[in-house]
A and B are shown apart, each in its own frame.
Chain A
Amino acid sequence: MENQPTSGGCGSGCGCHSDPGGQADATRRNLLKAAGVTLGAAAFAKAISPIVNWSRENLSVDEFLQQHYRELDKEQLAAVMKRLEQDAKKNYGADVTISDHRPQKGVKFGYALNLSVCIGCRRCAEACHHENNHDRATNNSYIRVLEMQKGSMDIEHGNAHYDHPVPHPDKFYMPVQCQQCDNPPCVDVCPVEATWKEDDGIVVVDYNWCIGCRYCEAACPYHARRFNWTKPVIPKAEINPKQSYLSNRIRPQGVMEKCTFCLHRTREGKMPACLEACPTGARVFGNLLDPDSEIRKVIDNKRVFVLKEELGTRPSFFYFFDE
């Protein structure tokens, strides 16, 4: 690259300004360089214009500078939630209320599922879809129901894409959602602490802090996490207006989301939407710390198991069969 024309050039072995008559040449070169740089900069600005337009429409200074959920005091969080309500109005035309539900003292949630009675109707998945304001275009849900081959408990022989009347006589059904692990790999791997385990056992995501690296999605052994590949599409009329900051508010584009055991319901003493939708009563939900709760009765009296126990994730989600 150094065997260049000697006119005014440097690097061909000569000193820089030793070339007689190189002065005019150098000026001409500098002009050409300036023109090149200007053209290049203009082309670059044009190339990245979609980002400029996107940030003008979708990114306010307040949102850009917003602190982590756990760093916000009461007023700051109230202001953030107010802004998010306005965003929902602006982007979806819907009047929504966004609240902040905190864990209750003395509560640790657990979930159990009776595989003997689950018929694989997937109404739980559908209820989740509506309750949690999921993207309509992808028909997203936090629950996947696996149709399992009798004679095996191995997920390898499951199929999430069955399409025939249920229950099929040769199969049984195993719904899988976030297991709310006590040793959650997704929380460990997050580089920015955008996801964490709350005192009542629920693993949550601050959708406004997540950077969208999807490391948690790679780490989760249960396929419990979902990414917002684009801005969720939900018709105004179908939006569930009762929302919570850490759960079912409409998620921004480019961030992770996951099942929160419907914390906006369960922290108010209600049952999760998937449980209420279940026609067979296969689902049992409650406070693991309360010895009289139904979930404790299941764990104490049934032979329960957890998924992929060998991984040491310690799920709060249990499966069992009737005797």
Chain B
Amino acid sequence: MNSTITNAENPHDAKFHATSYLKFLRLAFRLATEGTWTFYVWMFVLSCVFLVGAHAWATQVAQGMIVTAMTDHVSWGLYIANFTFLVGLAAGGVMMVIPAYIYHDNDMHDTVIIGELLAIASIVMCLMFVVADLGRPDRFWHMMPFIGKFNWPISMLTWDVIVLNGYLLLNLHICGYMLYKRFLGETPDRRWYVPFVFLSIAWAISIHTVTAFLYCGLGGRPFWNTALMAPRFLTSAFVAGPAFIIVVLQLIRRMTQMKVGPGSIQTLVAIMRITILIDLLMLGSEVFTALYTGGAHSTAIRYLFFGHGDLNALVPWTWVSLAFMVTAAVLLMRPKVHEHLKVLDVACVLAFVGIWIEKGMGLIIPGFVPSTLHEWVEYIPSAAEWKIMAGIWAAGLIVYTLLLKVAIPVFTGNVSGRRAK
């Protein structure tokens, strides 16, 4: 291989990058396609689930969204529910970036790329859920600035397009740059990533704020029309994100040679302990305000918790979510919970599922029940919707697995252009 690749002191010209970047991509491809049997089985299963979802989506496009359980009364369902949750998961990765870059937590600094890659995979899933929700995905180009008609700045959805894609690009740049530099065996130039990292911190807040504004700006939907929505979104994101990453960090520690210091998990636990309590506090505040006041504005919350006559499709979801969240909060209060990994893992799974319900079915559906003319139509997702949802999650996990598969060996210095000479 090219010997100049080791010559880090000389400034590189474009020709150098043209060859060495290709080598980097080739290495990435090889790393992403080779692994243990566990890896192959994992990828095979995910691919199968993805294919089932892809087929269900293709059928939905051909036959129309009649294959979903959505109606003119409940016009958003499982797709937008998952979309909302995943924006939070993407934003949650920033809870690794802030300790690493602002508080200079060394253990966190070594593992921060895990959170940044999670942001990439989550945003990919978000975009897929938005496409799955479109009645006419063939007209996707109408939404592109300059080519189509982009109703910016008045439509919050155009803001969401900007912030989500911007966040994706930021994280792609940060991760791509760091990995390429590691591959070259060079020290990354701070000027080329630190400003972007700080921008990405602000940007992470923006993606979940704008997503909350999608809903809370609608005066016709009293359940959503609350100023607490964006803060609640962020807080729950800072529960779900760390919960997911804590489990991933343990898997990485077990399955790879990456050094996962105890500090990362300890810091994430410290964050979760606070955010989950704030999240429950804000939930309580919303429920109190609605129920104590009574009247039309409390109708959706009453339906959510207690049902309406015979209609109680959301009641089990709501109480399961609340029970999971409260249990997780209690478990997290155990002293030194970061040393009791089983308890911690249970708490993380419960919190993750609890938020998934709260930011999904528990948030989107009651916005529509009862309808704006107070008609009572319930919504229970159809098989097609579950399939498409599973397919998109599988695709997201495929993306995340492959990203980690490339990033970890490069990051730990197990492979690099320098060694490959």
Beta-carbon contacts under 8 Å, B51-82 to A: 51-52, 54-55, 57-59, 61-66, 68, 70-73, 75-76
- Bound: A111/B215 CA distance, A: 30
**From residue B210, how far is it (CB to closest CB) to chain A in Å?**
13
**From residue B298, how far is it (CB to closest CB) to chain A in Å?**
11
Chain B residues closer than 8 Å to A176, beta-carbon distance: 373
- Bound: A231/B372 CA distance, A: 26
- Bound: A5/B37 CA distance, A: 10
Chain B residues closer than 8 Å to A221, beta-carbon distance: 219-221, 372
Beta-carbon contacts under 8 Å, B368-394 to A: 368, 370-375
**From residue B304, how far is it (CB to closest CB) to chain A in Å?**
17
- Bound: A11/B419 CA distance, A: 12
Binds A, one of B144-152, B185-193, B284-292: B144-152
| B4 beta carbon closer than 8 Å to chain A | no
Tell me if A228 and B373 are in contact (CB < 8 A).
Answer: no
Number of residues in B with C-beta < 8 Å to the partner?
Answer: 78
Binds A, one of B98-106, B128-136, B200-208, B241-249: B128-136
Tell me if A213 and B157 are in contact (CB < 8 A).
Answer: yes
**From residue B155, how far is it (CB to closest CB) to chain A in Å?**
5
Tell me if A68 and B36 are in contact (CB < 8 A).
Answer: no
Binds B, one of A72-80, A185-193, A272-280: A185-193
B151: contacting residue among A4, A13, A192, A230, CB under 8 A: A192
- Bound: A220/B372 CA distance, A: 8
Tell me if A229 and B372 are in contact (CB < 8 A).
Answer: no
Interface of chain A, main secondary structure: loop
- Bound: A255/B64 CA distance, A: 10
**From residue A203, how far is it (CB to closest CB) to chain B in Å?**
14
A15: contacting residue among B33, B134, B155, B420, CB under 8 A: B420
Chain B residues closer than 8 Å to A24, beta-carbon distance: none
A189: contacting residue among B31, B47, B155, B414, CB under 8 A: B155
| B18 beta carbon closer than 8 Å to chain A | no
Tell me if B143 and A211 are in contact (CB < 8 A).
Answer: yes
Residue-wise interface mask of A (11-29) relative to B, using a CB-CB cutoff of 8 A (1 in contact, 0 not)? 1110110000000000001
- Pick 22 A–B contacts, CB within 8 A, sort by A: A1-B36, A11-B35, A11-B409, A50-B59, A51-B58, A68-B142, A146-B373, A154-B296, A185-B218, A188-B155, A189-B156, A193-B149, A212-B65, A213-B157, A217-B75, A223-B72, A226-B72, A227-B65, A231-B64, A252-B136, A254-B64, A254-B136
